[in-house]
Amino acid sequence: MTSSSTWNENEQILHSLKDDILVTNLDGIILKVSEVTGKIYGVDSESLIGKSVYDLERQGLFTPILTPMVVKENKKITFVQTTNKGKKLLVTGIPVYNEKGELYRIVSYSHDITELAEYKDFLITMEEEMERVKSELDLLRSKQLMDAGIIANSEDMKKVINTALQLSVVDVNALILGESGVGKSLLAKFIHNKSQRNKGPFIEVNCGAIPDSLFEAELFGYEPGAFTGAHQKGKLGLIELSNGGTLFLDEIGELPLHHQVKVLKVIQEKQFYRVGGTKPIKVDFRLISATNKDLNTAIQEKRFREDLYFRLNVVPVTIPPLRKRTEDIVPLIHLLLQQFEEKYNREKKLDEAVVHHLLHYEWKGNVRELINIMERLVVLSPSTLITVEQLPDHLKEGPTLSPPSFISDKTLKELLEETEKQILLKARKKYITTIRMADALGTSQPSIVRKLKKYRIY
């Protein structure tokens, strides 16, 4: 076989390939091309031979060019190239060496990935849109929660709300647990308002507040003349009033043992007898209970019926104490400030030192205690600015500092700034955007931007 026939054979093989293949010398002069190459760039393949890739780039045929990259790196290079037709090509350049081991030619081949690039851009756009919608939904949910008087920025509280939302779509019995003042009745109302029973009544029964002698009459109602002093027309009980809605048994742990079996019977049968009555009354209610007591201990001490406990505790929801949801404290402070400003028609502002004291207080009385403090500050503060001097004595002492911080030479202003910076750092990491940070911390977005700039947090 002659050299000429070998050359022609190579040419035939080159043009039979369905890929874009291009060969240049080290100066970027095109020596060989496949027929597919011309079709990709919208030109005749033969017209490319002898031309410089540098000139073709300047003419806008494609960019960037591969030859100088392979020459510089002296290794296989792959990148994305854009053609004059707007196509995206995944181009790979391979160095070819002569018999002396010297770089001699550059062979490149490509694959059209225009559709893949478009899919990628589409996915990025969709991800951005989904993130935007998610942010809007988070803001809307946050607003709805705030309208209901609930703040849920902390992860623990978010889990509580997610569980509550799941509970709202089914009529399963729920038991809300948590310390006194965490907002158990508020959560019960939230579940009711989000449920299909929201058009029905929400009847709250404080099991620890009804006198023992009146419990049955209050809960079940009574017929006319059922007992001395009874109203002549009789009375509907709280359970009957809850028909079609939600019955909330608050402080269920305070329910006397001898009344527990009667409540259990109503829960099981969804019917009861009024005091002095002989006709069973059917009732349709959704049951939510709440307690700050340890019912397991009460069961062991024979103060609470185990069968009633299992009826109540189908789905337990534990609200964390305020001291364990510090991310919720500042937004709660601002929400309560706004509510009491509107209630008492007063305009108030909180000194940063006040917020610092409130943020680091232990809050043994939880949200209820915070509500009382904020109402007192709004009512009794003599000026627009609420300062540390207006705080109750037990709050003026401020947070307990560890010995290293306490014995340091830092001023109060420096300590406050240090705390603020740490809060901002955590918020930046968690919420990313300044809008979400502002919403979580209960302040304005411009304020967050200024503070991030102040502390050089990027």
Per residue in 224-281, pLDDT (tens digit) is 877 766 677 788 889 999 999 999 999 999 999 999 999 999 999 999 998 888 899 9
Structure tokens at 12: 């035939």
> Measured between alpha carbons, how far is 341 from 96 in angstroms, rounded to an integer?
79
> Measured between alpha carbons, how far is 72 from 103 in angstroms, rounded to an integer?
11
Q: Tell me whether residue 290 is exposed, middle or buried, using C-beta atoms within 10 angstroms of its C-beta: 0 to 12, 13 to 18, 19 or more.
A: buried
Beta carbons within 8 Å of 379's beta carbon, 6+ residues apart: 340, 344
Confidence band for 21, pLDDT divided at 50, 70 and 90: confident
Q: Tell me whether residue 107 is exposed, middle or buried, using C-beta atoms within 10 angstroms of its C-beta: 0 to 12, 13 to 18, 19 or more.
A: middle
> Measured between alpha carbons, how far is 458 from 447 in angstroms, rounded to an integer?
15
pTM given for the model: 0.59
CA-closest candidate to residue 179, choices 251, 249, 254, 248? 251
Pairing of strands 315-318, 174-177: parallel
Judged against a pLDDT cut of 80, whether residue 12 lies above it is answered with no
Q: Which residue has the tokens 């929660």?
A: 145
Judged against a pLDDT cut of 90, whether residue 295 lies above it is answered with yes
**Which phi and psi (to 5°) does residue 51 adopt?**
-90, 160
Distances (CA, A) of 24 to 3, 11, 17, 91, 355: 21, 15, 18, 14, 71
Structure tokens at 38: 């011309």
Q: Tell me whether residue 140 is exposed, middle or buried, using C-beta atoms within 10 angstroms of its C-beta: 0 to 12, 13 to 18, 19 or more.
A: exposed
Distances (CA, A) of 49 to 4, 25, 246, 350, 430: 19, 11, 84, 77, 57
pLDDT score at 230 = 67
| Residues 378/346, Cβ–Cβ less than 8 Å | yes
Most confident of 49-58, 84-93, 140-149, 230-239: 49-58
Judged against a pLDDT cut of 80, whether residue 427 lies above it is answered with yes
In eight-state DSSP terms, residue 44 is: -
pLDDT score at 143 = 57
**What is the torsion angle, in degrees rounded to the nearest 10, for the CA atoms of residue 303, residue 308, residue 314 and residue 318?**
-30
Distances (CA, A) of 413 to 19, 350, 385, 420: 69, 15, 17, 10
Structure tokens at 283: 């009732």
pLDDT score at 384 = 92
pLDDT above 90 coverage of the chain, percent: 43
Judged against a pLDDT cut of 90, whether residue 166 lies above it is answered with yes
| Residues 139/279, Cβ–Cβ less than 8 Å | no
Confidence band for 319, pLDDT divided at 50, 70 and 90: very high
SS3 assignment, position 355: helix
Beta carbons within 8 Å of 365's beta carbon, 6+ residues apart: 180, 181, 372
**What is the torsion angle, in degrees rounded to the nearest 10, for the CA atoms of residue 324, residue 328, residue 334 and residue 340?**
-70
- Helix H or strand E segment including 288: strand 286-291
pLDDT score at 111 = 82
CA-closest candidate to residue 218, choices 314, 209, 254, 285? 209
Sign for the CA dihedral angle at 132, 138, 143, 144 comes to positive
In eight-state DSSP terms, residue 101 is: S
In eight-state DSSP terms, residue 43 is: S
The type of residue at 401 is L
Q: How many helices (H) and strands (E) does the chain have?
A: 21, 17
